[in-house]
Homo-oligomer: A and B are copies of this chain.
Amino acid sequence: MVILGSVSSFKRRAEEILMKAYKELEDRFRRLALIDEVRAVLGWDWATMMPKGGAGSRAEQLSELSLVAHELMLDPQLEDLLNEAELYIDKLDDWHTSNLLEMRRLWLHNSALPATLVEALSKATSACELCWRDAKSEDDFVGVLPKFAVVVQLVREKAQAKADALSVNPYDALLDQYEPGARATHIDPVFDDLIDFLPSLTDRVIEHQQTFEPARPFKGPFPVANQRELSKRLMGVVGFPFDHGRLDESHHPFSGGTPEDLRITTRYEEANFTSALMAVLHETGHALYDYGLPEAWRRQPVGEAPGMSIHESQSLLIEMQVCRSPEFIRSITPMIRDAFGTEDPALTADNLLRHYHCVERSLIRVEADEVTYPSHVILRYRLEKLIISGELPPGELPGAWREGMREFVGVEPSDDRDGCLQDIHWYGGDFGYFPTYMLGALSAAQLFEAAKRDDPKILPSIASRDFGPLYAWLRPNVHSLGRLFPAPALINRATGNKLSTAAFKAHLNARYLGC
Contact = CB atoms under 8 A, between A and B. Distances in A.
A242 interface: yes
Nearest to A263: B49
A76 to B, nearest CB: 16
A37 B53 contact: no
Given A54-B258, A56-B260, A260-B54, A61 B38 contact: yes
27 contacts: A31-B64, A31-B67, A34-B60, A34-B61, A35-B64, A37-B61, A38-B42, A38-B64, A38-B65, A41-B41, A41-B42, A41-B61, A49-B49, A49-B246, A50-B261, A51-B242, A51-B244, A51-B246, A51-B261, A53-B260, A54-B257, A54-B258, A54-B260, A57-B259, A57-B260, A57-B261, A58-B261
Contacts of A261: 50-51, 53-54, 57-58
A396 interface: no
A31 B57 CA distance: 13
Interface size class of A (residues with CB under 8 A): 20 to 34
Interface in A241-298: 241-246, 257-261
A52 interface: yes
A40 to B, nearest CB: 10
A45 interface: yes
Given A38-B42, A42-B41, A241 B68 contact: no
Contact of A53 (B45, B51, B54, B244): B244
A359 to B, nearest CB: 38
A293 B243 CA distance: 38
Contact of A245 (B34, B41, B51, B68): B51
Given A45-B41, A261-B50, A261-B58, A64 B241 contact: no
A241 B258 CA distance: 31
Interface in A71-117: none
Nearest to A72: B68
A60 B31 CA distance: 10
A37 B51 CA distance: 15
Contacts of A242: 51
A258 to B, nearest CB: 6
Contacts of A34: 60-61, 64
A52 B258 contact: no
A51 B287 CA distance: 14
Contact of A54 (B49, B51, B68, B244): B244
B258 A51 contact: no
A38 B38 contact: yes
A225 to B, nearest CB: 11
Contacts of A56: 260
Contacts of A52: 243
Contacts of A38: 38, 42, 61, 64-65
Most buried by B among A38, A42, A56, A242: A38
Contacts of A259: 57
Contacts of A260: 53-54, 56-57
Interface in A9-46: 31, 34-35, 37-38, 41-42, 45
A436 B246 CA distance: 38
B246 A57 contact: no
Given A37-B57, A53-B245, 9 more contacts: A31-B64, A35-B68, A38-B61, A49-B246, A50-B261, A51-B261, A53-B241, A53-B244, A54-B244
Closest 7 CB pairs of A and B: A54-B261, A53-B244, A34-B64, A57-B260, A53-B243, A38-B61, A52-B243
A258 B61 CA distance: 11
Contacts of A49: 49, 246
